[in-house]
Amino acid sequence: MFNGLRRTKIVATLGPATDREGEMEKMIIAGVDVVRINMSHGSPEEHKLRVQNVRELAEKLDRQVGVLVDLQGPKIRIGRFSENKIILADGDKFSLDNNVGKNDGNQREVGLTYKNLPYDVKSGHRLLLDDGRLVFEVNDVVGERVNCTVIVGGVLSNNKGINLQGGGLSAAALTDKDKEDIITAAEMNADYLALSFPRSAEDVEYCRSLAVKAGLNCSIVSKIERAEAVADDATLDGIILASDVIMIARGDLGVEVGDAQLPALQKKMIKRARQLNRVTITATQMMETMIDNAIPTRAEVFDVANAVMDGSDAVMLSGETATGKSPSLVIETMGRICREAEKSRTSRESTHRIDESFTAVDETIAMATMYAANHFGVKCIAALTESGNTPLLMSRISSGMPIIALTPHLATRRKVTLYRGVYPSSVDYTGLDDAQIQASIIEKIKAFGIAEVGDLIVLTRGESRGAMGGTNRMEIVKVL
């Protein structure tokens, strides 16, 4: 049931490839933990059908699978070319102009879907197009026309994205389309909602308020992909604290800050999010070659393993599963890499918060539990939880110890699918006294095959069941 006790979670994007007959079932069996609905593609009806299919299959297979809805965010793009594409050489003059028709681009100029560009840039700025494949330097801005010199040329085709080196484009994080998509996410009862291009904690709080207004009480994922988000520690901390999860979206972020800075930034963000009790997803081109190939490159294997050893809660697949040849094979392969990386010492040891004071009872119990589990011969931690907060706090500490989140709430079971080393399971304690609850939990743990008679487990629970944040007891129990 616990998929060989792989601790790092796998997020897989749904798309045409996952719609193939029997593929989604194979993905769940292969161990996908969370599915991602990419609102940049497809219709609301398609998305709803996919989510319904996932949930029905998960129930049939007795698995919990979370649903993450990823908002498109602002489209900072050029228009289209009359001949679909052009070839630019280094040194060519080229202009981006609001007054060029959306389909009338040519060898000298192209229109813009992002109308604010002429007001955001000035002479000397560098524009990066098509994920940084082409580089333009701004010569001047005349009215709504941005005149440039091509620094790095190449093929430029329709609707390619624009980034400003160092960041600074003024596009709002939430568009009208995103606001409609939040309502669709509420109709799907999404477990996670991902916000594209947040620049500050205020963007995240605004997204959360729109979700609540739509009747969606879910966790918010902030995709860190703008230079402004990582420009200083205070801004990054603000975004992390306003969010439940951060996604290290290495595509746009790499273009804006430069690829060379990405590895250090990735490690810093994962470490900081764990310190602040938040969850992390590492994303973008993790196993890109498996869109077409049956095996990953060595570089991709190292990339996934490094994300695991850095402490990432989850690793994400995009085109690999959405449009790839064999989504379930990619998940199996990624799962194997994660399990091997988790054997490393850095993945199993921690000095997390060892010198800090704690501020809440459930937090203190969670920290004491992990200290006991890591220094005493127990087989697992069984956490009776309402909101999932105690298992979240526990999972911030690196350990080889499985944390079983036992909860009567379906929404909580789906939420913890993203937490590293936490495995959801249902429990019904209606009409049971303390001794009966303990006995039923032990029977569950035995049935899972994690512990047998004579083994010790750590059990945490609250005195008053049904109260959020009420965990106030820790027991070390022998399995009988």
> Which is it for the CA torsion 331, 414, 278, 8, positive or negative?
negative
Catalytic choice (223, 414, 415, 420): 223
Residue 286 tokens read as 């993790």
Name the residue among 98, 115, 111 with its Cα closest to residue 171: 115
Among the options 7, 9, 36, 396, which is catalytic? 36
Candidates 284, 385, 407, 412; catalytic one: 284
Active site residue 77: yes
Q: Which residue has 């070390």 as its token pair?
A: 476
CA dist., res. 331 & res. 446, Å (int)? 28
Contacts of 335 (CB under 8 A, 6+ apart): 3, 4, 6, 10, 30, 31
* Contact indicator for 269, 236 with CB cutoff of 8 Å: yes
- CA distance linking residue 245 with residue 190, whole number of Å: 14
What residues form DSSP beta bridges with 35? 12, 67
Active site residue 36: yes
Q: Of 6, 9, 77, 250, which one is the catalytic site residue?
A: 77
Strand ranges (E), 65-122: 66-70, 85-88, 93-97, 109-110
Active site residue 26: no
What's CA 318's distance to the chain center, in Å? 11
Residues in contact with 137: Cβ distance below 8 Å, sequence separation at least 6, in sequence order: 124, 125, 126, 127, 148, 149, 151
In whole angstroms, give the CA distance from residue 122 to residue 70.
32
Task: Give yes or no: 412 in active site.
Answer: no
DSSP state of 258: -
Note whether 141 and 147 are within 8 A (CB).
yes
Residue 270: name the closest of 352, 355, 167 by CA: 352
Decide the pairing of beta strands 145-152 and 93-97.
Answer: antiparallel
Render 117-181 in DSSP notation, one character per residue.
HHHH--TT-EEEETTTTEEEEEEEEETTEEEEEEEE-EEEETT-BEEETT------SS-HHHHHH
Q: For the stretch 135-163, what's the b/e string if a residue is b when 16 or more beta carbons lie within 10 angstroms of its beta carbon?
A: bbebeebeebbbbbebeebeebebebbbb
Q: Do 460 and 366 contact (CB within 8 A), yes or no?
A: yes
Tokens coding 206: 């605004």
Structure tokens at 251: 């595509």
Active-site residue numbers? 36, 77, 223, 284
